[in-house]
Amino acid sequence: MIPLLIYGAGGLGREVLSLARTVGFKPIGFLDDAIAPRTEINDLRVLGSVEVLQAFHDPIHLVLALGDPVSKANVVKRIDPARVVYPILKHSSVILQDEYAIQIGEGSILCAGCVLTNDIVLGKHVLLNLNCTVGHDTRIGDCSSIMPGVNIAGQVTIGEAVLIGAGANIKNRVRIGDKSKIGMGAAVIQDIGPGVTAVGVPAKVVLR
């Protein structure tokens, strides 16, 4: 089994811990900036923060279990890529309808129940949480987090570090700009620019 560190020891971190075990990794510790070293979470310890990576002679597998996309992107910037390997974690129930026409970037996490059809590109460190659907010709940028039960139609373009709240529906051909947030349950039927928060049915921008 492949040793794995998990950055983020919160609720998502514990979910990623159990997912990682089901797909053949051997988690050896959490990294976290907000939880004290030596804290035990489930049966694993927090070892410290990203400075811990320097203790490993060879590159170590690491996955980022952070829901907040901007925090995730900031952690990536602090890590020397030469010290790590970012695996893809994909639950066995995930359906890649045409696996040869789907690109998944390093460090991405695909949770149980997700269905992706074809001609899809996921960037690096993308989170597809439980039971999401992703339609044809869709792009999802680096570090974006798609929360449980989101339906993304075809030809959708989602930028980098975007948060899509649980249960949102995204209409075909819509574009969502970098670092925007879409509220839980929203119906996004037109383009949303970068750096804004949009909520509701249909989704309207409420914060810039």
Ligand X SMILES: CC(C)(COP(=O)(O)OP(=O)(O)OC[C@H]1O[C@@H](n2cnc3c(N)ncnc32)[C@H](O)[C@@H]1OP(=O)(O)O)[C@@H](O)C(=O)NCCC(=O)NCCS
Question: What residues are labeled active site?
Answer: 136
Q: Where are the alpha helices (DSSP H) in 23-68?
A: none
Site mask, ligand X, residues 178-197, x = CB under 6 A?
A: ---x-xxx-----------x
Spell out the long-range contacts of 103-106 with Cβ–Cβ below 8 A and sequence spacing 24 or more.
105/142
In single-letter form, the type of residue at position 162 comes to V
Identify whether the C-beta of residue 7 lies closer than 8 Å to the C-beta of residue 65: yes
Report the nearest approach of ligand X to the CB of residue 204 (Å).
9
By CB under 6 A, residue 101 contacts ligand X: no
By CB under 6 A, residue 124 contacts ligand X: no
Nearer CB in complex with ligand X: 171/181:
181
Report the nearest approach of ligand X to the CB of residue 168 (Å).
8
By CB under 6 A, residue 8 contacts ligand X: no
End-to-end CA distance of the chain: 46
How far is it, in rounded angstroms, from Cα 189 to Cα 68?
Answer: 23
Binding site for ligand X (CB under 6 A): 67, 129, 147-148, 163, 165-166, 181, 183-185, 197, 199-200, 206-207
